[in-house]
Amino acid sequence: MDAEDAESLYSTLENEIIPAFYNIGESGLPDEWIGRMKNALTTLTPQFSSDRMLSDYIEKIYKR
């Protein structure tokens, strides 16, 4: 990671991620943060699931 990447990461954390975590809505919960986490689970789980891992393993090891 170079200085530009670090600056981008820290800026994103400071201006987007951390405020979303601490911004409590009318429900008493950090609604934006919960939305982000639900979206992450929806979009990332298929890429990092055991089903995908097993499928890759079978394709790359056994079906050569």
Q: Which tens digit of pLDDT belongs to each residue from 9-56?
A: 999 999 999 999 999 999 999 999 999 999 999 998 888 888 888 888
Task: Burial-class residue 43 by CB neighbours within 10 Å (0-12, 13-18, 19+).
Answer: exposed
Structural domain of 26 = 3-62
Q: How many domains does the chain have?
A: 1
> Is the model's pTM score more than 0.75?
no
Q: What angle do CA 25, 30, 32 make, to 5 degrees?
A: 95
Which ranges of 1-64 would DSSP assign to H, the alpha helix? 3-12, 18-22, 31-44, 50-57
